[in-house]
Amino acid sequence: MIKLPDFNIISYFVGAFILISSFLAIEFKKEFDSFVALSVVSLMSVLLFVLLRAPDVAITEAAVGSGLVTAVLVFALYRIGGDEK
């Protein structure tokens, strides 16, 4: 049987990075910066799903969470004319 490496340290780092990025998404004053932090949260959750050996969920999160939601939020910000200071 193949022994896989232990991902405890990496998963703790990714979890901490998700918490920090989530806090930054709430605390940033500019909407675009918050959207970028939210996209980082989605990307880190993709990495966490890969570490948990759930590639189908990781692909879905990458496509929807990181890609589509971020694009829709940036497009909506552009349409309403936000962050023009």
Whether 55 is in a domain gets the answer yes
Tell me which residue of 52, 22, 54, 16 sits closest to 38, measured CA to CA.
22
What whole-number distance in Å separates Cα of residue 84 and Cα of residue 1?
58
Tell me the pLDDT tens digit for each residue of 7-54. Answer: 678 888 999 999 999 999 999 999 889 989 999 999 999 999 998 888
Whether 22 is in a domain gets the answer no
The total number of structural domains in the chain stands at 1
Whether 15 is in a domain gets the answer no
Whether 19 is in a domain gets the answer no
- Residues of the domain holding 73: 30-85
Whether 3 is in a domain gets the answer no
Whether 51 is in a domain gets the answer yes
pTM of the predicted structure, to 2 decimals: 0.79
Whether 11 is in a domain gets the answer no
> Rounded to a whole number, what is the largest CA-CA distance in the chain?
59
Amino acid at the residue 65: G
Tell me which residue of 66, 80, 79, 81 sits closest to 35, measured CA to CA.
66
Whether 16 is in a domain gets the answer no
Tell me the pLDDT tens digit for each residue of 65-84. Answer: 888 888 898 898 888 886 55
